[in-house]
Amino acid sequence: MVKAVVLGAAGGIGQPLSLLLKLNPDVTELGLYDIVNAPGVAADLAHIATPAKVEGYLKDDDGLQKVLTGADVVVIPAGIPRKPGMSRDDLFKTNAGIVRDLATGIATTAPNASVLVISNPVNSTVPIVAEVFKKHGVFDPKRIFGVTTLDVVRASTFVSEILGDRSLATSIAVPVVGGHSGVTIVPLLSQSSHPLPPGFGGSDLEALVKHIQFGGDEVVKAKGTGSATLSMAYAGAEFANKVILALKGKKGIVAPTFVHLAADKAGGEALKKEIGTDLEYFSAPVELGPNGVEKIGGIGKITGAEKALIAAALPDLKVNIDKGVSFIEAPKL
Ligand SMILES: NC(=O)c1ccc[n+]([C@@H]2O[C@H](COP(=O)([O-])OP(=O)(O)OC[C@H]3O[C@@H](n4cnc5c(N)ncnc54)[C@H](O)[C@@H]3O)[C@@H](O)[C@H]2O)c1
Ligand SMILES: O=C(O)C[C@H](O)C(=O)O
């Protein structure tokens, strides 16, 4: 029995993500919440012949509390998206408050749920959720995840294009570490499961790295009115389905995700040493388990250029993380 909940379920990401979660046969209950249209989206999805019972709620009549009751996995795509010319950080002033309020609802009604944060800026919204949980005395770093899967999906797709075989895209795995914005997105292409062609390097490699780091900007520019929704729904469902499988006891599932490094003390400390930082959050390959984060993996062998990319990511990451933490200012634990 798994209850999955989507907060922001009527939005551009929320609707296709809810559809994909409805298709997961392990989901027995699907709770949808939004400030608009969630009951309608729920009524529509409820007719799909898969096991999940679907319910939709609005803010009135304690909708947030109702949807979160009994939740095992809560995915948050609530909040405004970018328009051309905006950075993800420009979304902070609107989305920080939205995420804080939703996290407060989770902390009080479903403190043991795994929380998957999609709302941008992820590098700041994940610390916001953590600080809210600390304030309520229910902080468990093993259960709070920043969803960076779209960067991994983009890396697989773009590498398959370079290899000239798109059919490989679903089997190509490239670890993407750091965070989820611009230069904090660090693809470790030297560790691609399918190596790049011999001689691929120099400006071609730099262009590929930029394509992955700024893939989100490309979509924002092409759409003109918002950001990636369909590819994000795909990526969000892929990550949520992994979390659900691990929750149900499947072993050995590893995925990059932005986590508090105390989620695995030994792994987190080793990672900090490896990358030379005292940051509390980083996206790293994480082994998932029934209680959330099982193990934080290291970076492993990387090239000099990749070391430089990690070093370039750290200052921005620190600014983003500090901004999220100070927005809530929980008492230090
Ligand atoms: N992590 C990632 O890789 C990634 C990728 C794409 C988009 N995003 C982010 O996801 C967020 C959503 O993007 P979108 O395109 O779906 O936006 P959208 O505007 O289409 O949908 C957002 C939804 O959130 C709802 N909402 C707003 N305030 C709410 C609240 N307090 N409670 C519940 N619901 C609320 C809105 O009513 C709307 O339905 C944005 O912040 C965007 O930047 C993240
Ligand atoms: O680019 C954005 O603002 C949305 C998202 O973070 C993405 O990477 O597509």
Nearest to 162 by CA among 208, 116, 213, 107: 208
**Omega prior to 141 cis, within 30 of 0:** no
- Tell whether 88 is in a known binding site: yes
Give the mutation target among 126, 219, 221, 229 for probing the ligand 2 site: most ligand atoms within 8 A of CB.
219
Collapse the DSSP code of 199 into the 3-class scheme (helix H, G, I; strand E, B; otherwise coil) and give the result.
coil
Q: Do the first three CATH levels of 3-146 and 147-333 match, i.e. the same topology?
A: no
Query: What residues does each domain of the chain span?
Result: 3-146, 147-333
pLDDT tops 70 at residue 332: no
C-alpha 77/C-alpha 326 separation (Å) is 22
Convert the pLDDT of each residue in 34-90 to its tens digit: 999 999 999 999 999 999 999 999 999 899 999 999 999 999 999 999 999 999 999
Collapse the DSSP code of 193 into the 3-class scheme (helix H, G, I; strand E, B; otherwise coil) and give the result.
coil
Choosing among 3.40.50.11810, 3.40.50.970, 3.90.110.10, 3.50.7.10, the CATH entry for 147-333 is 3.90.110.10
ipTM score? 0.99
Distance 229 CA to ligand 1 centre (A): 9
| Radius of gyration from C-alpha coordinates of the chain | 19
| CA-closest residue to ligand 2 atom 5 | 216
Class for the domain spanning 3-146: alpha beta
Give me the amino acid identity at 28: T
pTM of the model: 0.98
C-alpha 77/C-alpha 235 separation (Å) is 12
Spell 137-166 as b/e; 16+ CB within 10 A means b. eebbbbbbbbbbbbbbbbbbbbbbebbeee
The total of other beta-carbon atoms located within 10 Å of residue 219's CB is 20
Q: pLDDT band for position 5 (50/70/90)?
A: very high
| CA-closest residue to ligand 2 atom 9 | 216
